[in-house]
Amino acid sequence: MLWMTMGSLNAAHAEQQDVLKQLGSRVEQHAVLRADFTQTKQMAALKRPLITSGKLLYSKVHGVVWQITKPYPITYILSEDKVIEVSADGYRKERSVKDIPGFAQISRIFKAMLSGDVNALNAYFESKVFENTVQAEPNQTAWQLQLTPKQTQTSRFIQEIVVTGDQFVTSIHIHEPNAASTAILFSNTEAAPTLRDAELALFRGK
């Protein structure tokens, strides 16, 4: 009976991987994404949730831009090897990801979720995919992706991530140790084949 159980588990795992790859292909097709976001941070040390909002820009080639507009304007540009903080007056402060413990991994995970990079997600997480779990846009299949860390290093700051979406990622919920959590909701998402000139200049620092 054990071999039958193992066979069933392997088949279920293979089916999950097939669904995950299909999901990745659906999201991965977009070279550029633009969206509005609202992030809610819950921590035991905070009496009230910390809420920030702004605009997200994702480029498959260049990285991710988080342009926070509330509660105060500040922009973060994330690439493979550095993070750039841009203040409201345009001053740019650049840091290597090597100087920020754990940041490189977090950055890669976020980029993998936004881009549907299945291989990157599989490197860090055990995954379960559920379809038709939330209301989708017309002619779109809704899905939910549950990610559990494989590595001890990752589990130190992430217990579980739940990603939902349809054609695009619509929300990311991160459950952290000590009952902390981060919820990011995306709206007005649009795809584009290329960056605008001003967006490209932002990545290049011009």
- CB-based contact 74:66 (threshold 8 Å): no
pLDDT greater at residue 61 or residue 118: 61
- Please identify which residue in the block is written with the tokens 């009230």: 48
∠ CA 159-112-123, nearest 5°, is: 65
Element (H, E) at 153: helix 152-155
- CB-based contact 59:31 (threshold 8 Å): yes
Task: Give the three-class secondary structure for 189.
Answer: strand
Instruction: Supply the pLDDT for residue 10.
Output: 38
Q: How many domains does the chain have?
A: 1
Residue 197: give its domain's CATH number: 2.50.20.10
Instruction: Supply the pLDDT for residue 28.
Output: 61
Nearest-angstrom CA–CA distance, 183 and 38: 8
> pLDDT (tens digit, 9 = 90+) per residue, 86-114?
999 989 998 887 777 666 777 778 888 88
Nearest-angstrom CA–CA distance, 55 and 190: 12
Alpha helices in 77-141 (DSSP H): 103-115, 118-124
Which residue range forms the structural domain that includes residue 97?
A: 2-204
**Beta-carbon contacts of residue 101 (< 8 Å; ≥ 6 apart):** none
Instruction: Supply the pLDDT for residue 13.
Output: 44
Helices and strands in the chain: count of H runs, count of E runs: 5, 11
